[in-house]
Structure 1
Amino acid sequence: MFSLEFLITSLIVVLIPGTGVVFTVSTGLVLGRKASVFAALGCTAGIVPHLLATVLGLAAIMHTSALAFQVLKYAGVAYLFYIAIATWHDKSAFAVDGSASSTTAVSLVLKGFLLNILNPKLTIFFLAFLPQFVQPATTEPLMHLMVLSATFMVMTFVVFVVYGFMAHVFRTAVIESPRVQAWLRRGFAATFAGLGSTLALSEK
């Protein structure tokens, strides 16, 4: 039901570092493997509304309504800057394990969900991306779109978990160096701020 071209293109799209990747990697470094899985789960869940909007045709409204697009865009910008400021001002030491942090699984999932749901560019992206891979001869285009969407989500979750686990591998070196911790926090904060600025300055 899906082509090799779809799988390759989807993998490339998922591998490109973006907001979700940065959040998952930072979570893996700070809180460990288990926490990074929850972060990846939240980021993946944040894709669902965009995929549903595409499948149900609501993306066309976002594409034509400048007001709807701008409202959602600047909500996403505000949240990215909030995350950037919170990360910059967080002076606590990196946790040695997940239980050492007050951050809950629910809060990690919610943060990841909000990061992706507040990015209207995802809706426009899926509107342009998914229909290209629907087979013209199919008698059930809606079902085909649902399968493509599910496949993309599974790939997103798996890749993000791998990113988080890779970050976990470097935790020991990070935890043993307060200087590295400080620079990582500044780097993550600057990245979130940069992503927010890019979204704010982007055109429809």
Structure 2
Amino acid sequence: MSATTVLGFALACVLLNLVPGPGMMFIVAHGLGGGRRAGVTAALGMASGTVVHTVVAALGLSALLQAAPFALELVRVGGAVFLLYLAVSAFRSARAAAALTAPPRKSLRRTYLSAVLTNLANPKVVLFYLAFLPQFLTAGGWPGPVQILLLGAVLVLIGLVMDCGVGVAAGALSAVLVRRPGFERGLKRVAGAVFGGLAVRLLLDAR
């Protein structure tokens, strides 16, 4: 695998990460709802999920999912249900804030695990490894699994840097807005709407 191939893949990863998707919206929602630390934690969770996808692809299990579409369907529906749960939780938190009760802030550990599960439940990531990444694999030289791991590491690193920037920016915006009365409830409702929208998108997306 040449340096030119790796650089071309890196550029493609940058362009892909610039396009807003479910992962970015998830990070923005957590950054707005929980501040910079929550946004960065969500980015770390997304990166961890991508690491799992990379290892799975290197082991050849993505080909198994391609051969068994029903398994991919289960992943898609399960991810949608999980996002709906997050949406309901966010709206309940907003209602508690409106009632002047102090709802417990979601722990960073829970935010991290939520991000990992959301990433793993996104079938588009599996399809990325099935359709896009193989275009950068070269015959001869390094074994296929090693090339997948290398390209996956590039994807994880670029995605982590860009997603952390998004999380910090969303957290900074949250820190400014929550100083004004009523904005905290509004931010939680926005987060709930984002999670709900992601769930609907996951259910309706073409497979």
- Per the TM superposition, whether the score is higher than 0.5 is yes
- Runs of at least 5 residues in structure 2 that lack an aligned partner in the other structure: 98-102
TM-score, length of structure 1 as denominator length: 0.86
Match of 2:166 in 1: 163
**1:28/1:168 contact within 8 Å kept:** yes
The 1:86/1:151 distance shift into structure 2, 3 A limit, reads same
1:70 and 2:73 equivalent? yes
Distance between the aligned counterparts of 2:82 and 2:135, measured in 1?
Answer: 31
The 1:139/1:48 distance shift into structure 2, 3 A limit, reads closer
**Superposition CA RMSD, Å:** 2.1
The 1:31/1:192 distance shift into structure 2, 3 A limit, reads closer
- Runs of at least 5 residues in structure 1 that lack an aligned partner in the other structure: 94-99
1:149 and 2:143 equivalent? no
Alignment map for 1:71-150 (pairs within 5 Å): 71-91=74-94, 102-150=105-153
Distance between the aligned counterparts of 2:204 and 2:170, measured in 1?
Answer: 30
Structure 1 residue 102 displacement after superposition: 4.2
TM-score, length of structure 2 as denominator length: 0.85
**Equivalenced residues, count:** 198
1:186 and 2:173 equivalent? no
Match of 2:17 in 1: 14
Match of 2:27 in 1: 24
How many percent identity over aligned positions? 30
**1:62/1:69 contact within 8 Å kept:** yes
1:199 and 2:202 equivalent? yes
Structure 1 residue 53 displacement after superposition: 2.4
